[in-house]
Structure 1
Amino acid sequence: MTRAWEADPSALFERRLGKSAKELGSSDGRDECPDIWRLDNGDIAVIGRDLTDNYRGHLPEGVAVGSDERLVIIPGAMLSAAKVDIPDA
């Protein structure tokens, strides 16, 4: 079965969206760095805490996490800071 969208593992990091975790006070800059990046193919990469197992049994109706997907959590302030870098649809 072919999916409507598939991630391209050859895409490269192009630019950060918003501010770094350190700028937002969400990281000490060592090993905990949630982040949001635009890839050179237009896709978005999100680095966050993997809480897939915690949320799997509590997903809203119609929401699913595939076996090769992960549900990640980032600080809300990080997405808010990225708003200026995200174009309107």
Structure 2
Amino acid sequence: MFKRRIGPHPHEDTGNGSAAANSCPDIWELDSGDFAIIGVEQTEQLRPHLPSDAFLDPGEGIVVLPRHVLVKARKDIPLE
């Protein structure tokens, strides 16, 4: 099911001289080609602030991924 990590391991050096010890935000490509995100679940905190054209269907949630995780993963994200 989990095919490969997208971006560096979350416990590698974060670039500021310290490794992430207590946080593991991560991006994974699945065998299906979809992506799984490990981040902080913040559905209830952010739901009231959704733009008027954004919706959450049953079973969906809002997960926050730190910017630096996606920026570092950019080169590993497939174009197609």
| Matching residue of 2:59 | 68
Report the TM-score, using the length of structure 1 for normalisation.
0.76
Counterpart selection for 2:78 from 75, 79, 87: 87
Q: 1:83 Cα deviation (Å)? A: 0.7
Counterpart selection for 1:43 from 18, 23, 34: 34
Report the TM-score, using the length of structure 2 for normalisation.
0.84
Q: 1:88 Cα deviation (Å)? A: 2.3
Gaps of 5+ in 1: 1-11
Count of aligned residue pairs for this structure pair: 76
CA RMSD, Structure 1 to Structure 2 (Å): 1.6
Distance in 1, Cα, partners of 2:30 & 2:78 = 14
Identity percentage over the alignment? 39
Return structure 1 stretches of 4+ with deviation > 3 angstroms: none
Gaps of 5+ in 2: none
